[in-house]
Each structure stands twice: as C-alpha cells, then as structure tokens.
Amino acid sequence: MTYIPAEDRYEKMQFRRCGQSGLKLPALSLGLWHNFGHVDVLENSRAILKLAFDHGVTHFDLANNYGPPPGSAEENFGKILKEDFKTFRDEMIISTKAGYTMWKGPYGDWGSKKYLVSSLDQSLKRMQLDYVDIFYHHRPDPETPITETMMALDQIVKQGKALYVGISNYNAEQAAEAIKVLKELGTPCLIHQPKYSMFERWVENGLMDILGQQGVGCIPFSPLAQGLLTDKYLSGIPADSRAAKAHGFLQTGQITESKLQQIHELNALAKSRGQKLAHMALSWLLKDPRVSSVLVGASKPEQLADSLKCLDNIIFTEAELQQINEILNRNL
C-alpha cells in the first residue's frame, strides 16, 4: 500500500532557523541511534518513520556506526526511504556522521580526510542517496589537525556529497577553531550536536555562547539523559530499562539517591506545568533560541507521539527556571 503522509503535517510542527543559515529544522528531530538496526523489527522502524513524517518531523539523523550492527541503521533507512518516502526526499533533511570506529585498520576511525570521505561514500551507498543534507564529524580527533578534518568537510560539500556540514562532541575551544577554519574555507559550519540535558549542562560553560555569536545552530542529543529524565525511574529501576542492562550506556551506579530526589522534585514541577517530566525536559532545552532542534529517539511510534507533546508548552516563567536551577544545583 502506497504511503500517503498527513496533509496537515506542517501545521503540527514548529520550525526553527538553524543558526544564521537559510535552513529551518523541526523543533524535534528523530535520531536513529537505537531501534533501527538489523536486530530490530523493520516494520516497527517503518511505523516510527511514518509517524514522524506525519507530524512534521522532517529531519532524520544517522551515523555510519548506528545499528547494531554498524551500518545497518543506514541500510534500513535507505530501504524504507526507497519504498515509502522516495517522492518526499526534497521534504526531508537527512544527516549522517563519521568519527567513531567503523572498520579495521588506521583508516576506519577518527578524523582524517581519508576516513571521512571514504565513510560518507559508504553511507551514501547504504542509504541509496546521491547526497546527504548534513554531514558531521562525529567527535574531535586528538591526533589529526582540525584544519585537515575541516578541509575534508569543505571538500565533501564542494563535491556535492553534502549540502551542509556540522560537528559533534567538540568542546568550546575545539568548536571555535573548527568554525573559524570552515568559515575561511568558504563552507560555514551549520550546526553542532552536543550531549545536553538538564543533567548534562557542560555546553553552558562557553560553547553555547560561541555557537550563538558565530551563528551556528545547536541540536542536543540525549536530551532525556538516557531515560533518567522520564517517569521510568520514579519507583526504582525497571528490569527492562537501560540501567538494568550491564552493557548499556546508563549504569545503575549513576542512579543515586540524590539523583532520584532531583528526579522526583523535577517531576513535581512538571506536573504543576501540566506536563510529564520528559515533556518538561525537552521543553527546557527548546526554551533557548540558540537550540535549533532537539534529537529524540523512539523504540515504538507511541513513544515518539508522546515526545511530540512537549511542543504544547515550551514557555517557562522566571520562577520555574529558578526552581529548576535550584533543584539541579543542589548538592543533595
């Protein structure tokens, strides 16, 4: 059956300008880090993507190593794109990245021109695309000069393999240098993708100011702190949660009594705003005009539909912001 997206999809979404560029992004973008690999059910992935597009989520964020196994999220996305979204390619922003280990040997990792160009060529084949809209360097390389990495990004744009480029996980000093080099090369940095949430605020120590001053957009990932900023842990650690899995990115040791106290207090404030904790955590990021979009993940369509409810209330009073800061800064 041919997929026909919702007619009112653009009326359901707020769009925000990305830095000082001509590009607008949906307030929420869909990250395909988990739940889109070969280990996942393809029809569930397809349903999530359709629900996203039906609600004006036009930006789909991938990376070469997303899966598992690595590369499989791009393959599955490319398959679904070809089967269901082919006629809507020009309504979509598709991004991918390279910077983490992708293949054996010295040319399958970090930030050399050799790795970045090769990786994007592979990504385009997996997704069956001629170009991506945004290509990121996924993490800074301590050994390769930033100039070489940025020259690779510049070359990729000039070759027509990406329309825009960005950086991810760069600190303030590294970001400032990368932005400067790209500007000199004539390919401005469009966007920075940092880890940023109520529980991870390092970007506020200089990075956000640099992005604002230089006209670079910001798209936070892990906005719910791997699920901590949801109601999932209000009554302990569920057996099926990320924290309960020994190999997960969230470990039980991170869920301390003081952290749980903060979660309960933030949850109470969210209720007073007529929101769930997760909705408030997403809204809190969107309150900053320098944030162009927030990346959310989803394991099923209903989860994404729930996240979209954060857009119903992204206005905070000064008293609410002060209370949030008091909760987050308190040495419990």
Question: Residue 248: inside a domain, yes or no?
Answer: no
Question: Residue 256: inside a domain, yes or no?
Answer: no
Confidence of residue 14 (pLDDT cuts 50, 70, 90): very high
What pTM does this model have? 0.94
Averaged pLDDT score across all residues of the chain: 95
Question: Residue 59: inside a domain, yes or no?
Answer: yes
pLDDT in tens, 158-185: 999 999 999 999 999 999 999 999 999 9
Question: Residue 72: inside a domain, yes or no?
Answer: yes
Query: Is 253:282 a contact under the CB 8 Å cutoff?
Result: no
Query: Is 166:18 a contact under the CB 8 Å cutoff?
Result: no
CATH of the domain at 175: 3.20.20.100
Distances (CA, A) of 153 to 31, 167, 325: 21, 10, 38
How long is the chain? 332
- Domains contained in the chain, number: 1
Question: Residue 321: inside a domain, yes or no?
Answer: no
Instruction: Give me the domain span that covers residue 116.
Output: 9-228+280-315
**Backbone dihedral angles phi then psi of residue 267, each to the nearest 5 degrees:** -65, -40
**Neighbouring C-beta atoms of residue 330, cutoff 10 Å:** 11
Question: Residue 275: inside a domain, yes or no?
Answer: no
Confidence of residue 320 (pLDDT cuts 50, 70, 90): very high
Pairwise pLDDT comparison (331 vs 326), residue with the higher score = 326
- The DSSP code for 82 is I
pLDDT in tens, 232-273: 888 766 656 555 454 455 555 668 888 999 999 999 999 999
By CB atoms closer than 10 A (0-12, 13-18, 19+), residue 299 is: middle
Question: Residue 249: inside a domain, yes or no?
Answer: no
Q: How far apart are the C-alpha atoms of 139 and 160, rounded to whole Å? A: 23
pLDDT in tens, 41-53: 999 999 999 999 9
Instruction: State the residue for tokens 């004006």.
Output: 56
What SS3 state is found at 142? coil
Question: Residue 324: inside a domain, yes or no?
Answer: no
